[in-house]
Amino acid sequence: MSVTIKSSREIELMRQAGKILAKVHETLGNELKPGMTTLDIDRLGEELIRSFGCEPSFKNYNGYPASICVSVNQEVVHGIPCEECRLQEGDIVSLDAGVCYRGYHADAARTHGIGEISGEARLLIERTRQSFFEGIAYAKAGNHLHQISNAISSYAQKFGYGVVRDLCGHGIGTKLHEDPEVPNFRQIRRGIRLRPGMTLAVEPMINAGSAGVIWLEDDWTVVTEDLSLSAHYENTILITEGEPEILTLTDSELAEGIRTGA
């Protein structure tokens, strides 16, 4: 395993990639409405990404056919945008996007509700987001990687949720997926020691029901085995001596985080 430590020049490029991706997510989130197709989201996302001088990291990655992964309700991740797939009031939709700016990737995901959603769905989205913050409270130099994993799963499991085990977060930089793997569930080993300059995509995927998932025939779309709802929240973070720097939040999201102590 080789975990890269980014130089200050590389960190600056990753910050720029992250800010662009935060803006892409903000815009997409504001555009979502009932009747829109998941392909509309992908087209808009790709256009936005390119308008910022970036490449969509996911397009053609291992053959993935789109720029934005759009996963609705029981779909966990890697849903493929489609012309006939229309969002409906009450759906929850996870958008996962990656951008590559001057050779450096940023990766982030958000789950949104379409119009009025159930209380169960709202809580799942909020707690999935919170599980990320519980995890990264341990993301600092000198700590061990799996302290993040353990904190995410301890928090999510308090609510009886299923923490997805078949997919993990990852290191990120000049490649979308770098070492190390960042699991979201409790580990027996403590994992590598975190060092300043490491950049990680931390991405809890949490199911309202059991943790089991299956892959659809398209070989991409991951769905919950029991068809329960699933939510996803991901940011690219930088390990520092102190608090981690979250690279894929807008300035207003950062201010909000400080205000709520998230």
Binding site for Co ion (CB under 5 A): 107, 201, 203
Residue nearest to ligand MF3 (CB): 64
Query: Quick check: 134 binds ligand MF3 (CB under 6 A)?
Result: no
Residue 64 interacts with ligand MF3 (CB under 6 A): yes or no: yes
Helix/strand/coil for 95: strand
Q: What does the DSSP 8-state code read for residue 63? A: G
- Which of ligand MF3, Co ion, none binds 215 (CB below 5-8 Å, type-dependent)? none
CB of 201 to ligand MF3, least distance (A): 6
Nearest one of 246, 248, 247, 240 to 262, comparing CA atoms: 246
Q: How far is the CB of 202 from Co ion (least distance, A)?
A: 9
Query: Is there binding between residue 96 and ligand MF3 (CB under 6 A)?
Result: yes
* Contact letters for ligand MF3, residues 164-203 (x by CB under 6 A): ------x------------------------------x-x
Residue 161 has φ and ψ, to the nearest 5°, of -75, 160
- Site for ligand MF3 contains 69 (CB under 6 A): yes
Exposure string of 35-45, with b = 16+ CB inside 10 Å and e = fewer, is ebbbbbbbebb
CB of 178 to Co ion, least distance (A): 11
Contacts of 19 (CB under 8 A, 6+ apart): 247, 250
The CA-atom distances, in angstroms, between 59 and each of 10, 45, 46, 49, 68 are 23, 11, 9, 11, 8
Tokens of 208: 């309202």
| CB atoms near residue 220 (< 10 Å) | 18
Q: Which does 112 bind (CB under 5 to 8 A by kind): Co ion, ligand MF3, none?
A: none
Q: Which of 58, 132, 155, 233 binds ligand MF3 (CB under 6 A)?
A: 58
Q: How far is CA 78 from the centre of its chain?
A: 11
By beta-carbon proximity to Co ion, the closer residue of 114 and 132 is: 132
* The token pair that represents 190 in the structure block: 């403590």
State the residues that interact with ligand MF3 by CB under 6 A: 58, 61-62, 64, 69, 78, 96, 107, 109, 170, 201, 203, 234
